[in-house]
Amino acid sequence: MAGGKEKFYLTTPIYYANSRPHVGSAYTTLVCDTIARYKRMCGFQVAYLTGTDEHGENIARAAAKQGISPQELVERNWRIFQDLWKLLDIRYTHFIRTTALEHAGGVQKMLRRVRDAGLIYKGKYQGRYCVFDNLYVSDSTEPADCPTCGRPAELMSEENYFFKLSDFQKPLLDLYRERPEFVKPDFRRNEVISFVESGLKDISISRKSIKWGIPWPGDEEQVFYVWFDALTSYLTGIGFAEGEQGSEEFRKYWPADLHMIGKEIIRFHAVYWPAFLMAANLPLPRTIFAHGWLLFEQEKMSKSKGNVAYCEPIVQILGSDALRYYLLRDVVFGQDGNFSREALLTRYNSDLANGLGNLASRTLAMLERYFSGEIPAPADGRDERDAAVESRAAATIRTSLEQYDQLAFSRALEAIWELVAEVDRYLVLEQPWSLAEDASKHNRLARVLYTASQALRILTVLTCPVLPQAAEKIWQQLGQRGKLSEQRMDELQWGQLKPGTHIGKPEAVFPRVDKEEAYERIEAMEQEIQPPSALAAAQTPAAPARISIEDFAKVEMRVGEVKSAERVAGADKLLKLIVDIGGEVRQVVAGIAEVYRAEDVVGRKVIVVVNLQPRKLRGVESNGMIVAASVGPQGKPVLAGFLEDVPAGSRLR
């Protein structure tokens, strides 16, 4: 680990600004933020670039679907990305939009360098192309599906400018062999090598039929292929366009130390990108790391598959640290991992509320109670138990730094939480609350709380890259001066918490949550999240307080008869009902199980809103809503019904 003033430049992919980011798209940004924070705490000068990919047919089509111009769409959407990064505490240093003027200048400059090297020619492109992933699927005209999104690829046939990728087969293979750290993890490098060994064809890097892009210099009919445009943002985002050699910042930070990406875009990054850079005679990045996918309901979480979870509800209920911790702790970095709200809430309660949070509040409360909020001097000699905590802390510092360096976040956190458990055990064995009752044990009490507080200080520093908010709060509660994020992690050691320090006000950092209730609140908020198009609609004048009869008529309510009912597994409040709404039978999930038993509602007539969008509750599809009064402060549900007998299917007006 270098401790000097070295630079470190890392990037996320430049995200398509055609839809709202979900947990999957936030994953890479969270990971990079953790790395950036870690590197800063090890003394590096860090440049951290993210941004939005705003050109291409996928953007143009998304805009057309909403009846707006591509420019309007991206103006709206890039802000949604920025707002989310703020919410998730992402401390990027650079944000590039590919529609920025200086970016276009940089892309044209890049082309000039490649063209001057004699590597561009005009030719005819014919083949299958996926518009959504901007991917050449095949060079044949035969029908083919996109390997990334599964959509049928479109036939394209036009005159384009080509890049002589075929010239780079040998230089690329030499690169992978000479610099094994260029593509990570190793198994991905092997995939890339076999792809390149199988032969490289020249690629088209312009488009004639597409208008939404950066103009090709000297040919008004063409725009740049969006990947040539987007990859160049790693250069333009730090000042490549400026002057002949780029800005001072560019010269300081380029080449990138790490391009972090998802595995589906590895070919663009590990094959095309180094070839473009070699062609332009620019230095190559040090490492391209392709991580796995976050899966949700067994498939890649992605907008096109409709299986997405959003970050905002989780942040609102549990805080951004909880999401960061869960994703880094539960997913083995590099591999695919499953996203589950259940696992998120379990981790929150066990590791954060009962683990670190509880250790911090217990230790701080005892310091307050027994030592008037002052870190005691360790009076008595150090015994074996004290020494065990101290040596565990030293081992944890060593291991977690090694694991952070290797991007093995789950292992780093595992090691850190072993220290949490060790200190917990120590407190249980030493029972400081009993020591406090015996004046002759005062010195031992001082030693025990001194030891626990030293360990807690170390824990705040080690967790800071993952839990920036909570760690900073505990840091301040420990009475530490300066910003935690400005501490040096590579200089961390036992004993840096000085006796006599006055602690701040103890406050819980991770209040325990009722899992069931939190789950339902997150799920309900998810349903309310609207796609950007709907967000725009919401910005039009608000609906009047009173609605017209036509508005009311849009809600279709019918009398339904409950045919069967059963509890939804793992949910205390939910009943799954099969309801006859007159010639049609529906499955509806209702939050009434705390008040009604399944057998009580079978045969009952209820009121069903039948034209609601179907939604999933705890993974169970609900196609409609049962109307109930919400009574008292707890909102106890009381089913609406009729005094007279009414046939199922009757419409309410």
Rounded CA-CA distance 447/453 in Å is: 10
Compare residues 73 and 230 and give the one whose CB is closer to ligand ME8: 230
Q: Please say whether the beta carbons of 182 and 288 come within 8 A.
A: yes
**Subset of 53-92 contacting ligand ME8 (CB under 6 A):** 53
Among 8, 9, 10, 15, binds ligand ME8 (CB under 6 A): 15
Interface with ligand ME8, residue 371, by CB under 6 A: no
Binding range to ligand ME8, per CB under 6 A, among 9-17, 215-223, 317-325, 610-618: 9-17
Binding range to ligand ME8, per CB under 6 A, among 296-304, 349-357, 442-450, 501-509: 296-304
**Subset of 27-46 contacting ligand ME8 (CB under 6 A):** 27-28
Q: How far is the CB of 343 from ligand ME8 (least distance, A)?
A: 16
- Amino acid identity of 462? L
Rounded CA-CA distance 608/594 in Å is: 20
Q: How far is the CB of 256 from ligand ME8 (least distance, A)?
A: 11
Interface with ligand ME8, residue 225, by CB under 6 A: no
Binding range to ligand ME8, per CB under 6 A, among 25-33, 186-194, 237-245, 451-459: 25-33
Rounded CA-CA distance 342/348 in Å is: 10
- Residue 348 is given by DSSP the state I
Compare residues 103 and 473 and give the one whose CB is closer to ligand ME8: 103
Q: Please say whether the beta carbons of 93 and 47 come within 8 A.
A: yes
Among 13, 239, 357, 378, binds ligand ME8 (CB under 6 A): 13
Compare residues 28 and 453 and give the one whose CB is closer to ligand ME8: 28
Q: How many of the chain's residues bind ligand ME8 (CB under 6 A)? A: 20
Compare residues 315 and 639 and give the one whose CB is closer to ligand ME8: 315
The residue with tokens 């332009």 is 280
Bond before 465 cis per omega within 30 degrees:
no
Q: How far is the CB of 532 from ligand ME8 (least distance, A)?
A: 13
Q: What is the DSSP string of 527-581?
A: HH---HHHHHHHTSPPPPSS--HHHHHTS-EEEEEEEEEEEPTT-SS-EEEEEE-
Cα R_g (the chain), whole angstroms: 29
Q: How far is the CB of 260 from ligand ME8 (least distance, A)?
A: 7
- Amino acid identity of 124? K
Rounded CA-CA distance 399/403 in Å is: 6
Among 9, 38, 125, 293, binds ligand ME8 (CB under 6 A): 293
- Amino acid identity of 327? L
Compare residues 289 and 519 and give the one whose CB is closer to ligand ME8: 289
Binding range to ligand ME8, per CB under 6 A, among 20-28, 250-258, 488-496, 637-645: 20-28
Site string for ligand ME8, 248-287 (x = CB under 6 A): -------------xx-xx----------------------
Interface with ligand ME8, residue 294, by CB under 6 A: yes
For the chain, how long is the longest CA-to-CA vector? Answer: 91
Rounded CA-CA distance 99/54 in Å is: 6
What angle, 0 to 180 degrees and rounded to 10, lies between the N-to-C axes of helices 57-65 and 70-87? 100
Query: In the structure encoding, which two tokens stand for residue 519, read together?
Result: 């789950």
Compare residues 308 and 375 and give the one whose CB is closer to ligand ME8: 308
Residue 581, classified by CB atoms within 10 Å of its CB into exposed (0-12), middle (13-18) or buried (19+), is buried
Interface with ligand ME8, residue 136, by CB under 6 A: no
Nearest to 236 by CA among 218, 254, 260, 212: 254
Compare residues 107 and 230 and give the one whose CB is closer to ligand ME8: 230
Interface with ligand ME8, residue 24, by CB under 6 A: yes
Q: Please say whether the beta carbons of 286 and 182 come within 8 A.
A: yes
Per CB under 6 A, residues contacting ligand ME8 are 13-16, 24-25, 27-28, 53, 230-231, 261-262, 264-265, 293-294, 300-302
